[in-house]
Amino acid sequence: MLMKKTSEIVIVFDFDSTIIEMDSDNWLLGEFGAIDKFYQLLPTTPWNPLMDRMMKELHSEGKTMDDIVEVLKQTPMHHRIAPAIEAAHALGCDLRILSDANMFFLETIVKHHGLDDYFSEIDANPSYVNEEGRLRISPYHNFVTSPHGCSLCPPNMCKGVVLERIQRSVGKEGKRIIYLGDGSNDYCPSLKLKESDYVMPRKNFTLFKLISENPSLVKAEIHGWSDGEELERVLLQIIDTICVEEKNNTTNPSKLIAADCKLGTINCST
């Protein structure tokens, strides 16, 4: 692995079934025996408001925020995920999380694993504990007053819209993006990545299947992974590849110009 640090890479992680092994809502509801009720109601209520309602039910059954935190701390995470995040951060990458989970669940789990200092930005559904001690969960986009208008994404969050904002904020600096995810809601942002970017879909999960149906729709380079160990290996390999490219670009600009001239894209005589 390279010793040199890079400031040229932004890594955007999905959370559910990417950083953690499963969906955080499913995990919590399963542990509290509320999963059957949730899936009975899901056909008639969108996920995000239904999760808010389920928190009301758990509260009325006497479940406290402390009970919820204890269950969240047990959420399964592959043992190589934290080392992968630490290594990418140590190499100078700018790490973000872009998740359709709620902020309270996500931050509780991230903090429990000591990873909260590694992320420069977390985008997730807003949540807060109200005066009754009950967790309230809201959609990321207000789909009544300002719908995002994307047909690929659930009404509460279009990850593509958020990714475009990240692209605008880092694009001027020519940074490259590595996007990791598993779900159908990771497809929209994957389509917005550029040729110089990378997408890491989890093998045999929905995002991987959607990309596999028509890989030419994705401009970014595609690298699958199946578990935390492979995620770590593939991610660090991509960072290494980008660092080597960067080094070659800065140490040998004449070679670059020569290559561009062959393609006739720039005028070397000026």
User: What are the catalytic residues?
Assistant: 14, 16
Residue 16 marked in a binding site:
yes
Binding at 58: pick from Mg ion, Zn ion, none (beta carbon under 5-8 Å per type): none
> Helices 81-90 and 228-251 meet at what angle, rounded to 10?
10
If one asks whether residue 197 binds Mg ion (CB under 5 A), the answer comes out as no
How would you classify residue 104: left for phi > 0, otherwise alpha for psi between -120 and 50, otherwise beta? Answer: alpha
Residue 14 marked in a binding site:
yes
Binding at 152: pick from Mg ion, Zn ion, none (beta carbon under 5-8 Å per type): Zn ion
- Compute, in degrees rounded to 10, the torsion defined by CA atoms 214, 215, 218, 222: 150
Bridge partners (DSSP) of residue 178 are: 11, 198
Residue 182 marked in a binding site:
yes
CA 193 to chain centroid: 13
Query: Using the rule CB under 5 A, which residue among 157, 188, 218, 239 binds Zn ion?
Result: 188
Main-chain dihedrals φ then ψ at residue 137, nearest 5 degrees: -125, 130
If one asks whether residue 160 binds Zn ion (CB under 5 A), the answer comes out as yes
Could you give the string, one character per residue 17-56, with x where binding to Mg ion holds by CB under 5 A and - elsewhere?
x---------------------------------------
Query: Using the rule CB under 5 A, which residue among 10, 11, 13, 14 binds Mg ion?
Result: 14
Contacts of 240 (CB under 8 A, 6+ apart): 1, 2
If one asks whether residue 158 binds Zn ion (CB under 5 A), the answer comes out as yes
**Residue reference for tokens 């070679």:** 255
> By C-beta, is 69 or 152 nearer to Zn ion?
152
123 and 97 Cβ atoms separated by less than 8 Å: yes
3-class DSSP state of 21: coil
Query: Tokens for 143?
Result: 């789909």
Beta strands in 14-148 (DSSP E): 94-102, 119-125, 127-129, 135-137
Tell the smallest beta-carbon distance from residue 159 to Zn ion (Å).
Answer: 6
Tell the smallest beta-carbon distance from residue 25 to Zn ion (Å).
Answer: 20
Residue 67 marked in a binding site:
no
Residues 228, 162, 20: CA angle, nearest 5 degrees: 20
Tell the smallest beta-carbon distance from residue 11 to Zn ion (Å).
Answer: 20
If one asks whether residue 183 binds Mg ion (CB under 5 A), the answer comes out as yes
Tell the smallest beta-carbon distance from residue 161 to Zn ion (Å).
Answer: 6
Residues 201, 113, 59: CA angle, nearest 5 degrees: 95
DSSP letter (8 states) at residue 78? -
> By C-beta, is 118 or 143 nearer to Zn ion?
143
Tell the smallest beta-carbon distance from residue 205 to Mg ion (Å).
Answer: 8
Binding at 188: pick from Zn ion, Mg ion, none (beta carbon under 5-8 Å per type): Zn ion
Query: Using the rule CB under 5 A, which residue among 152, 170, 191, 222 binds Zn ion?
Result: 152
- Where on the chain is the footprint of Mg ion (CB under 5 A)? 14, 16-17, 182-183
- Where on the chain is the footprint of Zn ion (CB under 5 A)? 150, 152-153, 158, 160, 188
